[in-house]
C-alpha cells in the first residue's frame, strides 16, 4: 500500500486559457502537495495559498484535504464583481426603464 499512486489533475482557469497539469502522487497526498507538485505556484505568483480558494471537483476544500484517485484540484481566482451587487444594479436599471416607459400618455 505504501507504493500505491493516485492520478490527480490540477486546474487553473485564466481569462484566455486553462492550465491543466496531470500528476501521479503517492496515495494519501494532500491538496497542497498537489498544488506544489503541479508547478503552477511558481509559474503564477498571483496564486497565494493563504488568499486563493481551492476546490476538489467544484466543492470548496482546504489545503489539508486528502486526495483520492482521479480527483480534480481547482484553483479559484477572485471574482471581478460581486454577483449580488450586479443583480441589484440590473434590477435598479430595470425599474428606472419600466417607470420611464409608462410616462407616455396619448
- For residue 76, give the H/E element and its range: strand 71-76
Confidence check: pLDDT of 102 > 60 = no
- Provide CATH code, domain 5-78: 3.10.20.30
Q: What is the mean pLDDT of residues 67-95?
A: 84
- For residue 98, give the H/E element and its range: helix 83-101
Q: What is the mean pLDDT of residues 81-98?
A: 75
**Residue range 24-54, pLDDT digits in tens:** 999 999 999 999 999 999 999 999 999 999 9
Q: Give the span between the Cα atoms of 3 and 39, in whole angstroms.
A: 23
Q: Give the span between the Cα atoms of 48 and 41, in whole angstroms.
A: 8
Q: What is the mean pLDDT of residues 9-13?
A: 96
Candidates 43, 46, 73; CA nearest to 58 is: 73
Candidates 43, 47, 35; CA nearest to 10 is: 35
Confidence check: pLDDT of 13 > 90 = yes
Amino acid at each position: 500500500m505504501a507504493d500505491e499512486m493516485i492520478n490527480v489533475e490540477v486546474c487553473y482557469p485564466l481569462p484566455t486559457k486553462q492550465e491543466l497539469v496531470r500528476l501521479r502522487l503517492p496515495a494519501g497526498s494532500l491538496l497542497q502537495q498537489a498544488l506544489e507538485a503541479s508547478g503552477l505556484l511558481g509559474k503564477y505568483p498571483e496564486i497565494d495559498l493563504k488568499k486563493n480558494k481551492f476546490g476538489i471537483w467544484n466543492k470548496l476544500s482546504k489545503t489539508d484535504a486528502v486526495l483520492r484517485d482521479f480527483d480534480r484540484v481547482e484553483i479559484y481566482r477572485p471574482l471581478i464583481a460581486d454577483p449580488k451587487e450586479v443583480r441589484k444594479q440590473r434590477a435598479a436599471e430595470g425599474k428606472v426603464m419600466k417607470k420611464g416607459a409608462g410616462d407616455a400618455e396619448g
